[in-house]
Amino acid sequence: MTIEVTRNSGEGFFVGRQAGDYNPIIVALDVPSWQQAQDLVVELSPVVDFFKIGMELFTAVGPKAIRAIKAEGCKVFLDLKYHDIPNTVKGAVGAATALGVDMMTIHASGGRTMLQAAVAGANESTKAPILLGVTVLTSIDTHVLQSELQVQAEVTDQVVHLGKLSIGSGLQGVVASPLEITNLRMALGDEAVIVTPGIRPPWDERGDQRRVATPQEAIVQGADYLVIGRPITAAKDPRAAAARIAAELKTGD
Ligand code: C5P
């Protein structure tokens, strides 16, 4: 694994996993065409080296998007949230690993055998990606969990339960909303990788995400990586927005 795990200091601001140059920002490329994604990667790669490809871009463009970002010397977080029978998930993780993906998501609710199959798929290569468990989607609240899915637990308890299942099955970490970081960090310990979307810098005005945190808040609570989309990609000057967030994380401003 290329990314070393070191916890933040807990002294009020980010100090980084790799002294000096570690940047926790992952930019979400939530666009429907390679042209738009490429423009963002070219614009942002001087200040950000990690990009998230989700269902929209991958469905439209396919593995070309992964290869092109890797060719720029950047890292890829493939967020396709795999959830299928173990054999199928193993094959899909193996295929993503062969493409050079650095981080990817698996639904923890697929169960231990499926998660272990994902780990086996990743370990077929000498450079396995970081595997992250997806716990309970933030669109699902306790009412939906209990009445529609018939899971008789509070969302926060189910999130921690599935986080532990992920780590216990051999995954390296989890995706966590800002509201879940603290509970998951306490339950999973220092080594688990926590990746958090729903980030809004204090100076950003876009407000459709309901459970949000500022970059500093998320890092102080225990996140390792921040998935940031529109505050960067929809900014007037995306590179300046990314550079400002990175600089503020370094200084704690
Ligand atoms: O533009 P914005 O910063 O809101 O983008 C956040 C990214 O994180 C999107 O790609 C979105 O799909 C993803 N995400 C999220 N909330 C979750 C899980 C994933 O916003 N609970």
Per-residue pLDDT at 183 exceeds 80: yes
Q: What percent of the chain has pLDDT over 90?
A: 84
Per-residue pLDDT at 235 exceeds 60: yes
Tally Cβ neighbours within 10 Å of residue 210.
9
Per-residue pLDDT at 5 exceeds 60: no
CATH class held by domain 16-248: alpha beta
Tell me, what amino acid is at 142? T
As beta bridge partners, residue 79 has 54
Catalytic residue of the set 64, 70, 75, 81: 81
pTM score of the predicted model: 0.92
User: Which of 105, 174, 212, 227 to mutate to test ligand 1, by most ligand atoms within 8 A of the CB atom?
Assistant: 227
Q: Backbone phi, then psi, for 234, in 5-degree steps?
A: -100, 5
Residues touching ligand 1 (Cβ under 6 Å) are 28, 30, 54, 138, 177, 197-198, 209, 227-231
Quote the ligand 1 centre to 31 CA distance (angstroms). 13
User: Which of 25, 30, 105 to mutate to test ligand 1, by most ligand atoms within 8 A of the CB atom?
Assistant: 30
Reduce the DSSP state of residue 170 to 3 states and report it.
Answer: coil
**236 is known as an active-site residue:** no
Sequence spans of domains, the chain: 16-248
The residue with tokens 């992920």 is 166
Quote the ligand 1 centre to 227 CA distance (angstroms). 7
Q: Closest residue (by CA) to atom 13 of ligand 1?
A: 197
Both structure tokens of 77: 């977080």
Quote the ligand 1 centre to 229 CA distance (angstroms). 7
Tally Cβ neighbours within 10 Å of residue 88.
14
Q: Which of 78, 66, 77 is nearest to 26 (CA)?
A: 77
Q: Closest residue (by CA) to atom 15 of ligand 1?
A: 197
Q: Backbone phi, then psi, for 64, in 5-degree steps?
A: -55, -40
Atom of ligand 1 nearest to the CA of 228: 3
Q: What percent of the chain has pLDDT over 70?
A: 89
The residue with tokens 């871009």 is 57
* pLDDT for 204: 87
* pLDDT for 205: 74
Quote the ligand 1 centre to 3 CA distance (angstroms). 22
Mean pLDDT, the chain, whole residue set: 91
Q: What is the pLDDT of residues 146-182, one digit of tens each?
A: 999 999 999 999 999 999 999 999 999 999 999 999 9
Q: How far apart are CA 197 and CA 176, in angstroms?
A: 7
